Amino acid sequence: MASKGASKRLSKEFVAMQTSPPPFVFASPDEKNILTWNYIIRGPPDSPYAGGEYYGALLFPPEYPFKPPGIKMYTPSGRFQPDKKICFSMSDFHPGTWNPAWSVATILTGLLSFMLSDEMTTGSVTSADRDKRILAGRSHEWNRKQRRFIEAFPDYCGEQMKDLPNMGERDRGTSDSDVSSTTPTPTSLAARAISSVINGTPNPNPHSQQHVTDPVKPGGASAPEPQPVAPPLGWAASWKETVWNKWRWGILIALAVVVSRLSSI
């Protein structure tokens, strides 16, 4: 049974997963037990797992977030043994390296990063990239036949595989039609997204536009917009203005002298 602290923390993380899921992963708690979370990982492009859909579970202890979860992947992937606990730094195999600040999003992003590596550990298997691609192509049909998957993700059980809420586009910051020949590869984009979630740093985006905000006064109010500037005068108007500024006082003095003499006659 979950402790009060674990329930509060996992409820908060469920909201975060719904509103801002990390790239290529998605998860939700079991309806009957908040300590058991079901997840989906999608294989990033340009990886042996491209097009794959991998289903698994996070098994949280009642003491979470002070103790790490157990992690399983059920879908055959060529990387992990199905339904076996996976040993890596964010799992219950390594409580000494666990950081309570890590979340469901961090764990799954770390699992995806570990999946893309070749490091061997408890729960992993060795296979050729060709075999991984074959399993990736069969993964969705395999998942659709699993009762646990159907109950956990009814919206993802259609004949056609459905994209997760975040398939990396928001980290790219641009649509496919805007991508030029200098655009980073999907693999590098996935790596940046993974790094940003784990390290808590923003993901660099070469295609993002700089937005200019209005200047703000110390009081918090926006500064007034600059008034429009009158267009420059033409040469004729400019000449007249120069002559008038230079000679107007002389003309006025001359008129005063004439008036004075007329008045003395």
**Per mean pLDDT, which range of 11-20, 154-163, 211-220 is the poorest?**
211-220
Q: Please say whether the beta carbons of 104 and 17 come within 8 A.
A: yes
Tell which residue, 51, 54, 49, 50, has the closest CA to residue 39: 54
Which residue has tokens 């007249």? 240
Say which residues have a Cβ less than 8 Å from residue 74's Cβ, sequence separation at least 6.
55, 56, 57, 82, 83, 146, 148, 149
**Domains of the chain and CATH, by start:** 4-174+182-199 (3.10.110.10)
Catalytic residue at 157? no
Task: Supply 99's token pair.
Answer: 């950081």
Q: What are 241's two structure tokens?
A: 């203005």
What is the C-alpha separation between 133 and 45, in angstroms, rounded?
11
* Confidence band of 169 (pLDDT split at 50, 70, 90): confident
pLDDT confidence of residue 248: 53
Q: How does pLDDT run across 52-107, given as a tens digit for each residue?
A: 999 999 999 999 999 999 999 999 999 999 999 999 999 999 999 999 999 999 99
Q: Which of 50, 59, 87, 125 is catalytic?
A: 87
Out of 36-50, 124-138, 160-174, least confident range = 160-174
**Amino acid letter, 38:** N
Which pLDDT does position 208 carry in this prediction?
Answer: 35
